[in-house]
Structure 1
Amino acid sequence: MINLDAIKEQKADILASLSTAIRDSDDKGMETALDKYGNLISDVIMEQVESTAESVDNQILSTRGVRMLTSEERDYYNAVIEAGKSSDPKMALANVDKTMPITIIESVLGEIPQQHPLLNFINFQDTTGITKMLVNDQGVQTAKWGDLNTAIDKELSGAFKTFDVALKKLTAWIPVSNDMLDLGAAWLDRYVREILAEALWVGMETGVVSGDGLNCPIGMCKDVSSSASVVGGKYPDQKTVALNELSPEAIGAIAAQLTKTEAGNNRPLDNLIFVVNPTTYLTKVMPATTNFVQGKWVNDVMPIPCTIIQSCAVPDDRAIFGLGKRYFMGLGMAKGGKLEFDDSFKFLDDARTYKIKTYGNGKPLDSNAFRYLDISKLKRFIPTVYTVTPSET
């Protein structure tokens, strides 16, 4: 019997390790974490297969989380399975003139924002087939009033910039037990998509939060101002701003810095996010934002409309505060999306390693969109309550 709580806890620990390994460029750590995650998902799927072994009804399988495949997807997975079982699998797969169907990648990308809340709050777009996009770099600009017959002398100059979304490559490898090839196309699809979704999410989220811009996105915590000291393609961290209490005055002073674009244009504050890692949330943010109101505890109470988000990509005692939609992240599959594999990498484990890659890029759209906070000394804010007697009114 699958212990869902134990599975959830193991998954969280593995993904936290994977996020740390990506942030530290630790190849061995990434390999170990993905290997553990692959084994975990494989065990879960094998048990689910056994529980549905006597059922061939597609509707029943669908209710149990097995996605029904398109004819193109089924042909693709069957070709991969047959190639994997051949006497010369590497040559057989090389001769398979089939790339991973775009519907598989669309399914993966569509599921990621639903499962990982940070990507619901940023300007996240599927840019499949697109290499460049125009993005608004200046925020809202105003038109100018004038007489009916006067010349138009106000233009939205410099409002848009070209952004290369195919410049960076995001690669994931999938350790697949050879036993998985015997389960059929639908189960192999579930395994591949789940591993890809988590691997891509951790890679994306780490890039969105803390990427330094060298062969990866530029993170929210980085200094993207024109005066930033970029060395070897790497962007430096912003100077941290100390936040010691979540009072209206303290958070308001920081939020006020976000009300103007880098070009000096005013903008309203909406879609504000406060991103911290789970440990810092439980030890610093949760105690500071939890109140006992009318006989029950109320969590995540902020003095300004804001969503608190947990992300393993944020270092301990740090937080990112800003306008989620002012971070642009484009991700999509390009022509190089063919699934490749190698038997030697995990030969002794009786596993085949599959590799997939996708392309994209991300960056804050201006230097005033986010602030990098030091919350190591964050304490509970206790409002002052004044009692007014009838004689004082």
Structure 2
Amino acid sequence: MDYTKLPNYTAAVEKYTNAVANNADEKEQQKLFAKSMEVMGTEIVEKLSDQTSEKINSLMATKSNTKLSESEVKFFNEVTSGVGNPEVTLPVEIVNQVFIELQEAHPLLNIIKFQNAGLKLKALTADSIYGDAAVWGDVFGEIEGQLKQSFHENDFGQNKLTAFVVIPKDALENGYDWLKTFVTIQMSEAIAVALETALVVGDGAKKPIGLMKDLTKGTADANGVVSYADKEAKLDLSKLTPQNAPTLLAPALTEMTINAKGVSVPIDGHVKLLVKPSDYYNLLAKFISLNAAGVYVIEVPFAIELVQSIAVPAGKAVLFTDNRYWAYMGGMTLQEFDQTLALQDLQLYTSKSFYYGKPYDNNVSVVATLVAP
């Protein structure tokens, strides 16, 4: 489905992402996210006969003859049985398909690769991929202690994302193949909006730490939950031109080639410049020049790729390396919502999933301004 054709949903998502970017009250953020999911469900059902059905039928017509797995059949039996209100774990096949779908509409979620941690909800991270993990010294020295200091286990069980899946009751009778595709489409967009926002501006409080946050500015609340403040913009792109772009970008890139421990890291081919869709073409225009043959040429130096993200605040951009961000996802569950939905022909489910995300260090990204102060 082309979500740009859902105007009310697009407007609701804009309010939600702005609230997160402006560090609005957590309850207000949750309220706006829930509202955007409600609006999405309503608009999808309104357009179900054409857009959603068309995509589902198209996907089913082109998919392989691979049958649903045993775990998928069991899952949909539980969802459609109408017996009780069980919380059921989504099969890994559906989880993987959800991520394939959301990557298509949200490029950032295809760039940052999430590792599936299953139901463990724990991630193993290291201080650095260079340096501490290999040291010179006595053969039988304190190797074990050094390794323990370099690697850390992170519990991300509190980083829970709850979204909503709205299914027309008639769809429950359309067969499991059709239902699987419908659930996948809905879940992918619901998850993508909140997850992409967290990867860019998340403050780390029960959510991933965003690329625009300063890892040296963490503050714990009364419950020990740490949140991180915004990074200061170090890069001014307001006067960027094709001629001065290399000179403007080089200092920031040089900073990103050294990790927080002073060790060189490879970034060639991994640098992205993240920008809001409404700012994308104005920024792209600054990299365009007219050559001698009268042809417009796009020249972005150092093989930097421009990427659009709804989560980037207007007038800002983020330069980052895509290979230096910890990203893990845990299991997903689906449960029937036990309250009456306003539209009686719909069945509402809540989807719970778990994510961990954090830049390796503060040198992974540099925040830029697009407009002169």
Shared fold, TM over 0.5? yes
Amino acid at match of 2:336: E
Report the 3-state secondary structure (helix = DSSP H, G, I; strand = E; otherwise coil) of the residue aligned with 2:187.
helix
Residue number in structure 1 paired with 2:195: 204
Counterpart check, 1:33 vs 2:36: yes
Contact kept, 8 Å, 1:343 with 1:352, in 2: the verdict is no
Report the 3-state secondary structure (helix = DSSP H, G, I; strand = E; otherwise coil) of the residue aligned with 1:371.
strand
Residue number in structure 1 paired with 2:127: 137
Contact kept, 8 Å, 2:4 with 2:10, in 1: the verdict is no
Q: Deviations over 1:126-185 (max 9, x none)?
A: 221333232232242286789xxx868897664433233433101111233333334333
Bigger Cα displacement from structure 2, 231-240 vs 173-182: 173-182
Contact kept, 8 Å, 1:327 with 1:364, in 2: the verdict is yes
Any unmatched runs of 5+ in structure 1? 84-91, 379-393
Residue number in structure 1 paired with 2:313: 315
Q: Deviations over 1:329-362 (max 9, x none)?
A: 111216xx24232342x23554332101011211
Distance in 2 between residues matched to 1:144 and 1:49, nearest whole Å:
56
Distance in 2 between residues matched to 1:18 and 1:68, nearest whole Å:
36
Counterpart check, 1:339 vs 2:335: yes
Please give the root-mean-square deviation of Cα atoms over the aligned residues, in Å: 3.4
Bigger Cα displacement from structure 2, 271-280 vs 8-17: 8-17
Distance in 1 between residues matched to 2:140 and 2:330, nearest whole Å:
40
Distance in 1 between residues matched to 2:142 and 2:297, nearest whole Å:
49
1:151-162 matches, cutoff 5 A: 158-162=149-153
Aligned counterpart for 1:230 among listed residues 219, 237, 243: 219
Any unmatched runs of 5+ in structure 2? none
Residues 186, 292 of structure 1: CA spacing in aligned structure 2 closer, same or farther, 3 A cutoff? same
Bigger Cα displacement from structure 2, 71-80 vs 251-260: 71-80
Report the 3-state secondary structure (helix = DSSP H, G, I; strand = E; otherwise coil) of the residue aligned with 1:236.
strand
Residue number in structure 1 paired with 2:346: 351
Larger radius of gyration: 1
Residue number in structure 2 paired with 1:87: none
Contact kept, 8 Å, 1:165 with 1:362, in 2: the verdict is no
Contact kept, 8 Å, 1:240 with 1:371, in 2: the verdict is yes
Distance in 1 between residues matched to 2:220 and 2:177, nearest whole Å:
47
Report the CA distance between 1:97 and its aligned residue.
Answer: 8.6
Distance in 2 between residues matched to 1:64 and 1:151, nearest whole Å:
55
1:282-293 matches, cutoff 5 A: 282-283=281-282, 285-293=283-291
Report the CA distance between 1:322 and its aligned residue.
Answer: 1.6
Aligned counterpart for 1:239 among listed residues 211, 227, 232: 232
Residue number in structure 2 paired with 1:89: none
Distance in 2 between residues matched to 1:137 and 1:321, nearest whole Å:
22
Report the CA distance between 1:267 and its aligned residue.
Answer: 1.7
Contact kept, 8 Å, 1:20 with 1:313, in 2: the verdict is no
Q: Deviations over 1:189-239 (max 9, x none)?
A: 2221111011111111111100011111111100002xx242522210011
Contact kept, 8 Å, 2:123 with 2:356, in 1: the verdict is no
Distance in 2 between residues matched to 1:14 and 1:66, nearest whole Å:
34
Aligned length: 349
Contact kept, 8 Å, 1:41 with 1:191, in 2: the verdict is no
Residue number in structure 2 paired with 1:103: 93
Bigger Cα displacement from structure 2, 265-274 vs 177-186: 177-186
Residue number in structure 2 paired with 1:391: none
Contact kept, 8 Å, 2:121 with 2:329, in 1: the verdict is no
Q: Deviations over 1:86-113 (max 9, x none)?
A: xxxxxx233x695433322222124333
Which has a greater percent of strand? Answer: 2
Counterpart check, 1:259 vs 2:254: no
Amino acid at match of 2:170: D
Counterpart check, 1:274 vs 2:269: no
Report the 3-state secondary structure (helix = DSSP H, G, I; strand = E; otherwise coil) of the residue aligned with 1:191.
helix
Report the CA distance between 1:289 and its aligned residue.
Answer: 1.7
Report the CA distance between 1:43 and its aligned residue.
Answer: 4.7
Contact kept, 8 Å, 2:334 with 2:349, in 1: the verdict is no
Residue number in structure 2 paired with 1:128: 118
Contact kept, 8 Å, 2:90 with 2:331, in 1: the verdict is no
